Amino acid sequence: MERTIDKEIKELKNLILKMQDDILHSLDEAIFGLTKNDRSYFKKVYEREVQINDQHLQIDQQCLEVMARRSPLANQLRQIIGVIKINNELERVGDQVVNICRSADIYIQRPPLKPLIDIPRMSEEASKMLKDAINSFVTDNMMMAFDVIRRDDNVDALHDQILRELFTYMGGNTQNIEQALSLIFISKNLERLADHVASIAEHTVFCVSGQDVRHIYDRKVPDKQISILFLCVHNSARSQMAEGLAKNILGDKFKIQSAGTDPTVVNPFAVHVLREKKIDISKYISKNVNEVDQKNVDFVITLCEQEVCPQILLKSSKRLHWDVEDPVDTFDSFRKIRDEIETHIKEFNNIFFSHR
């Protein structure tokens, strides 16, 4: 039976969804008003901003009331704090949309400088990012959140492209400066909007894993061997399969290890189902976390229930959690978990290292 506090947290997330929908509607109207030279759409955005600000205050108040009444546990508290932080980021996204309208209102009062192609593209990408960021929060999908963070680079690239083009217009004719500046301001607002969306995704990672990645997510990975340590309690099945799969998928540029806090033996079912993938882990042994090389570990990835997963802190390491069930001793169960871990590793590689 669902507990009262869990129902209230779900209600808070529904309020976040409603606020997101209103902001997306405003962003669509702001860009439509810009491209169609129609100021009436800006008025709708200004009116809806009052509603969005009211939602911002309402959500904050309800979060405080839930915390005061329910004495939330660790995960519940992270969820509520996440709602508060994401609520603030959404309000700032709404502010950026209003700023877009103000610059657009100035721009459309004069003949257009150029066909608008990249700004609508920026807006479309930012909208998709916002939908995915909120969806990742509501569904506790950490990998989707990391993907949103990565896609912020796409918006930055479009912003840089727009700046280069508009600087050319400004240099060619000084009469273009005012119109070009309006478009630069709009592009910058969209770039800042996407930054707030990326922050929403970072807050989601905290809610799901308890790890604060705001200042440790590095988009430009150094050209060196990346070290990954997989952890589960017994280093018998899940982390062993992860080690074997990761070595096969990621290759020699990665140093892959696995360990546990209470090691036993490598499960023969794990050996068998990886042999089906032509991966041999028959010579692997279960290791205590103190037996592996912990120097310069870039990623610590845990693969078990949050309540029992090993909690170790390594300096400068990024910590991720993949909630993977403990397989029962059947080949079908181990194949299912093997394939789930393989999907996680491929998604991980795509999100963090696709540019390498």
Q: Which residues contact 160 (CB under 8 A, 6 or more apart)?
A: none
* Catalytic residue IDs: 232, 304, 309
Distances in whole angstroms, Cα of residue 220 to Cα of each of 136, 314, 354:
23, 21, 11
Q: Which residues contact 243 (CB under 8 A, 6 or more apart)?
A: 230, 256, 257, 258, 281, 284
Give me the sheet containing 254-259, strands edge to edge: 254-259, 226-231, 299-302, 318-321
CA neighbor of 166 nearest in space, from 127, 124, 117, 123: 117
| Structural contact between residues 231 and 300, judged by C-beta atoms closer than 8 angstroms | yes
Note the helical H segments in the chain.
4-36, 40-70, 74-107, 118-139, 142-172, 177-209, 238-250, 268-275, 331-353
Distances in whole angstroms, Cα of residue 258 to Cα of each of 87, 227, 288, 300:
38, 11, 9, 9
| Structural contact between residues 272 and 294, judged by C-beta atoms closer than 8 angstroms | no
| Structural contact between residues 27 and 126, judged by C-beta atoms closer than 8 angstroms | yes
Distance of CA 237 to the CA centre of its chain: 28
Tokens of 147: 């993907």
Q: Is 57 exposed, middle or buried (0-12, 13-18, 19+ CB in 10 A)?
A: exposed
- DSSP 8-state assignment for residue 219: S
